[in-house]
A and B are shown apart, each in its own frame.
Chain A
Amino acid sequence: MSQKGVNAQYRRTDGYVYRLTVGEHLLVSLHARGEEPFYALTPTGALLWESLAEWSTLDDLCARLIGEYEVTRDQAAVDVMDFLEQLESLQAVESRQLES
Chain B
Amino acid sequence: MKFGHLVVAFRPRSDSLRFSVSESHWPFIVEGLEPTLELSCSVGPISPRTDPSDFSIEKVWDIWRASDGSEEMIFWRGSREVPSWRLRIDPSFRRGEIEQAPIPRYGPFRADDSPMLQFVVVRALGRMGTLVVHAATAIVDNEALVFVGHSRAGKSTMARIAESLGARIPTDDRTILNLEGDRVFAWGSPWYGSLVRKTPEGAPVRSIYLLQQSAQNRIETLPPGRAIKELFVRLVQPRLSRAELERSLATLEELVGRVSVSVLHFQPTAEAFRLASGAAVPITG
Residues of A within 8 A of B (CB): 14, 17, 19, 21-24, 28-33, 37-38
Contact = CB atoms under 8 A, between A and B. Distances in A.
B57 interface: yes
Nearest to A36: B233
Contact of B239 (A22, A24, A31): A31
Given A22-B224, A22-B228, A28-B249, 15 more contacts: A17-B242, A17-B245, A17-B246, A17-B249, A19-B249, A21-B249, A28-B232, A29-B239, A30-B239, A30-B240, A30-B242, A32-B239, A33-B57, A33-B238, A37-B233
Interface of B: 55, 57, 223-225, 228-229, 232-233, 238-242, 245-246, 249, 253, 256
Nearest to B241: A30
Q: DSSP class of B's interface residues: helix, strand, loop or mixed?
A: helix
Contacts of B249: 17, 19, 21, 28
19 contacts: A19-B246, A21-B253, A22-B223, A22-B225, A22-B228, A22-B253, A22-B256, A24-B225, A28-B239, A28-B245, A28-B249, A29-B239, A30-B241, A30-B245, A32-B239, A33-B57, A33-B238, A37-B233, A38-B229
A22 B242 CA distance: 19
A33 B236 CA distance: 11
Contacts of B239: 28-32, 37
Given A17-B242, A17-B246, A37-B233, A23 B225 contact: yes
A21 B249 CA distance: 8
A37 B246 contact: no
A27 to B, nearest CB: 11
Contacts of A22: 223-225, 228, 253, 256
Give 4 closest A-B pairs by Cβ, nearest first: A22-B225, A22-B224, A30-B239, A17-B245
Contacts of A32: 239
Nearest to B250: A19
Nearest to A19: B249
